[in-house]
Amino acid sequence: MSAGSEPSPPAAPTLLSEAGCRLLQGAAAEGGHPLTSAQTKQFAGLYGRLLEGSAQMNLTALQSERDIVLKHFVDSLGCLNAGEWATGAAVLDLGTGAGFPALPLAIVRPDLRITALDATAKKVAFVERTAQALGLAVQGLTGRAEEVGRDPQHRGAYDVVVTRAVAALPVLAELALPLLKPGGMLVAQKAQLSAEERAAGLRAAGLVGAELGGEWQGQLPVLGDARCLLVLRKVAETPDTYPRRTGIPNKRPLG
């Protein structure tokens, strides 16, 4: 800058392009979740924050605008396709990473009381900052689900535990069921669910007080990739022995 010249204005935040907004609106509507223009603006802001955050830390492997729109934003909304998400429900996103599905869900369902749990503190800090900037009611929570599930403040406290791309179904059953209220549901989103994983998941569910509560098979809008949602319903108290200590659910899965 030469002496006496005006300081340059701060760079405008990156936002979703117009084409990206149209793709988002079309795909969300195709998936049964049409967006208002205010919600589309919130997604545009989320896109910008995700790009900024990704420049500083490892937040997402997805690089292109199209992939982020379809495989993060629209895919996250697909979690709503299974089960009844009652108005005002307390929801925990187990293993939220960069905020998926927690942040898209908070945009389209501002009535939900969403807690975004992850073992990595800097990811949770990103989610909290982003939620605050976009005016979304998402609480961050740093910790391992194995420990949070034994904390009286969180055990039995949630109507819905939702999870995407975190672990195999038997592991999810052990981590999620202790966190649910009686009658609550785990919604596990999967790209694929083999017959073996499904059977082991249902056996694990029986051990932690759950049964199959529903199943949804569908496709990711525009791309057509297979998606499956499996719902486990809490029908009995989870024994105090679960979840086992950190690492054991993964190392020696139930079922």
Known binding residues for S-adenosyl-L-methionine: 95, 100, 118-120, 145-146, 164
> Encoding tokens for residue 156?
């039995």
In the list 20, 31, 83, 97, the residue contacting ligand SAM (rule: CB under 6 A) is 97
Q: Which pair of structure tokens corresponds to residue 88?
A: 């005002």
Span near ligand SAM by CB under 6 A; candidates 24-32, 91-99, 196-204, 224-232 = 91-99
Task: Determine the Cα–Cα distance for residues 154 and 145; give it in Å rounded to an integer.
Answer: 10
Least CB distance to ligand SAM at residue 8 (A):
35
144 touches 94 (CB < 8 A) = no
Other Cβ atoms closer than 10 A to 22: 13
**Single residue of 79, 106, 124, 145 touching ligand SAM by CB under 6 A:** 145
Choose, by CB under 6 A, the member of 20, 45, 78, 95 that binds ligand SAM.
95
Q: How many chain residues interact with ligand SAM (CB under 6 A)?
A: 16
Which residues have C-beta within 8 Å of that of residue 77, sequence separation ≥ 6?
28, 31, 33, 101, 104, 105, 108
Stretch that binds ligand SAM, among 35-43, 45-53, 90-98, 215-223 (CB under 6 A): 90-98
Other Cβ atoms less than 10 A from the Cβ of 38: the count is: 8
At residue 81's C-alpha, the angle toward residues 78 and 85, to 5°, is 110
Residue 101's CB is within 10 A of a number of other CB atoms, namely: 27
Contacts of 107 (CB under 8 A, 6+ apart): 39, 42, 43, 46, 134, 136
96 binds ligand SAM, rule: CB under 6 A: yes
Residue 166 is a binding residue for ligand SAM (CB under 6 A): yes
Question: Which one of 49, 154, 164, 227 is in contact with ligand SAM (CB under 6 A)?
Answer: 164
CA 126 → CA 138, 177, 189, 236, distances in Å? 12, 26, 23, 36
Based on CB atoms, which residue is closest to ligand SAM, 25 or 189? 189
Nearer to ligand SAM, 14 or 120 (CB): 120
Taking CB under 6 A as the binding criterion, the range among 20-28, 41-49, 128-136, 138-146 that sits at the site for ligand SAM is 138-146
The residues in 191-210 that bind ligand SAM, with binding defined as CB under 6 A, are none
Please give the C-alpha separations between residue 124 and each of 35, 141, 142, 156, 216, in angstroms, as whole numbers. 26, 7, 6, 22, 29
Terminal alpha carbon distance of the chain? 66
Q: Which stretch binds ligand SAM (CB under 6 A): 8-16, 27-35, 96-104, 216-224?
A: 96-104
Q: How far is the CB of 3 from ligand SAM (least distance, A)?
A: 48
* Site pattern 109..128 for ligand SAM (x: CB under 6 A): --------xxxx--x-----
Residues that bind ligand SAM in the complex, under the rule CB under 6 A: 95-97, 100, 117-120, 123, 144-146, 164-166, 175
